[in-house]
Amino acid sequence: YGLASLHHPFGAAGVELFSQIGTGVTRLETGEAPALLQQAGTVLSSTASLGISRPAVGGRLGIAVSRPVQMDRAGMRYRLPVSRSRDGVVGYETRKVDFRPAKRETDLGLFFRRGGWQGRLATESFVEWRHDAPHALGETLVEAGVRISLSL
């Protein structure tokens, strides 16, 4: 897996641009024993994000557009049982399946981060608009929340 990040000051007033891009290659192996999964191809995945933040009221306020980690290619070959004869013989067919999602998720997020307690405690409140998220019932999902991190 490879990941590249960039944080760059932009103009005055503590404004910062940030971006990240990544890609992954996963090689899956199948065993020698008979199984339904006959062949697993190389899985390719990718991610990217771009955002801007600035100081605000004792913290940082920002906006980001991102494409979360997603499989770009994930081909598999299965040997599936499709019939059974009267004498108990099972008939099989080979099916090729690509587990890549049909749509690519794109997120737009607003956040406010604040540190405290000698740099060991961090809080972040956020709202995200997630378009084509694979787990969403509709095309758009809105999520909001608070994260609290404590470094010991």
Which tokens sit at 136?
């969403």
Residue 133 CB coordination number (10 Å): 20
Of 110, 113, 130, the residue nearest 122 (C-alpha) = 113
Q: How far apart are CA 12 and CA 2, in angstroms?
A: 32
Tens place of pLDDT per residue across the chain (152 aa): 899 999 999 887 899 999 999 999 999 887 777 788 888 889 999 999 999 999 998 899 999 999 999 999 999 999 899 999 999 999 999 999 998 888 899 999 999 999 877 778 899 999 999 999 888 888 899 999 999 999 88
Sign of torsion over alpha carbons 33, 36, 38, 42: negative
130 C-beta neighbours (distance < 10 Å), count = 20
Q: How many CB atoms lie within 10 A of CB 64?
A: 19
Measured between its terminal Cα atoms, the distance across the chain in Å is 28
Q: What is the pTM of this model?
A: 0.76
Among residues 10, 20, 14, which one has the least CA distance to residue 113? 14
